[in-house]
Amino acid sequence: MNAAALLNKHRIADSFSRAALTYDAAAELQRQIGHQLLESLPDTRPDRVLDLGSGTGYFTPLLRQRYGASNLLSLDLAQGMLAYARQHRPDANAAWICGDAEALPLAGDSLDLIFSSLAIQWCEQPARLFAEVARVLRPGGRFMVATLGPDTLHELRDAWAAVDSDMHVNRFLAREPLLASVPANLQLRAFSTENRVLRYSQLRQLTSELKGIGAHNMNQGQPTGLTGKARVQGFRAAYEQHRDAQGLLPATYQVYYLHLQKD
């Protein structure tokens, strides 16, 4: 991994660590998506379950409720998130691990199920992520995923594009390049897409929410230095063009749901 990529990972970890105390209050959409993913989990009795990108540990008790006898592991890149989870959602039979999804600190063929809700979109090398998933899953093991597609926050991106050519909004992989990163020994069992649209009376509600969950712009090529007042005003005016018939500002999240199974 090059130095620029490493710096990016550190920034992601730092951003989400700082958001640990505010994340749950701002993450209603994230909870809804995670609950939908939970509903799709297999009715099996896995020995070892991993919550990949576990964040504040919101889904730890829910996974425990579903898989009461399982050995539950919660892994996140952000140490601050893990500390919050251990304090606020303790589980005597769970383990919290600080680690990178692209270099999992786990033995091969050691997991039966991986649950991952809105985490893998932050991975810089999806082929490396899926290779690691295939390595740690046992034969027949499943990877259940919710992640974000490229149309996510397109209103925000369009509004900034009317002002300058800098990259202000996180960009995520489309279906084709994402699935092209999956190795041959991980079979795609199901794939679905949905758009969830949040609506706000004021633009600052959206930007404050994004700050609250730590979802800042992580892409390389983002603008550096101060954003000029005129550009900010132009951005706000451009976003106003998206205001709907009810007088609200939409923010679209494109969600991908994947079910992968190891041969």
Residue reference for tokens 């505010």: 22
Is the CB of residue 252 less than 8 Å from the CB of residue 131?
Answer: no
Write down the pLDDT at residue 1: 38
The CATH number of the domain holding residue 122 is 3.40.50.150
15-60 tens-digit pLDDT: 665 655 565 566 688 889 999 999 999 999 999 999 999 988 999 9
pTM: 0.87
Determine, yes or no, domain membership for 220.
no
Q: Which two tokens stand for residue 121?
A: 């979109």
What's the domain range around 22?
A: 3-152+171-196+254-262
Determine, yes or no, domain membership for 73.
yes
Determine, yes or no, domain membership for 161.
no
- In angstroms, what CA-CA distances link 133 with 145, 184, 196? 11, 12, 27
Average pLDDT of the chain is 87
133 versus 79: the higher-pLDDT residue is 133
Using 50, 70 and 90 to split pLDDT, how confident is the model at 178?
very high
Domain count for the chain: 1
Determine, yes or no, domain membership for 164.
no
In 3D space, the residue among 7, 53, 9 whose CA is nearest the CA of residue 27 turns out to be: 53
Write down the pLDDT at residue 44: 93
φ and ψ of 160, to 5 deg: -70, -35
Q: With helix as H, strand as E and coil as C, how does the chain read? A: CCHHHHHHHHHHHHHHHHCHHHHHHHCHHHHHHHHHHHHCCCCCCCCEEEEECCCCCCCHHHHHHHCCCCEEEEEECCHHHHHHHHHHCCCCCEEEEECECCECCCCCCCEEEEEEECCHHHCCCHHHHHHHHHHHEEEEEEEEEEEECCCCCHHHHHHHHCCCCCCCCCCCCCHHHHHHCCCCCEEEEEEEEEEEEEEECCHHHHHHHHHHCCCCCCCCCCCCCCCCHHHHHHHHHHHHCCCCCCCCEEEEEEEEEEEEEEC
Write down the pLDDT at residue 35: 94
Q: Is the pLDDT of residue 212 over 90?
A: no
Q: Which two tokens stand for residue 58?
A: 């919101």
58-84 tens-digit pLDDT: 999 999 999 999 999 999 998 888 998
Determine, yes or no, domain membership for 186.
yes
Determine, yes or no, domain membership for 136.
yes
Residue reference for tokens 């009795």: 45
User: What's the one-letter identity of residue 241?
Assistant: Q
Determine, yes or no, domain membership for 18.
yes
Using 50, 70 and 90 to split pLDDT, how confident is the model at 232?
confident
Write down the pLDDT at residue 66: 96
Using 50, 70 and 90 to split pLDDT, how confident is the model at 220?
very low
Determine, yes or no, domain membership for 22.
yes
**What CA–CA distance (Å, rounded) separates 99 from 77?**
5
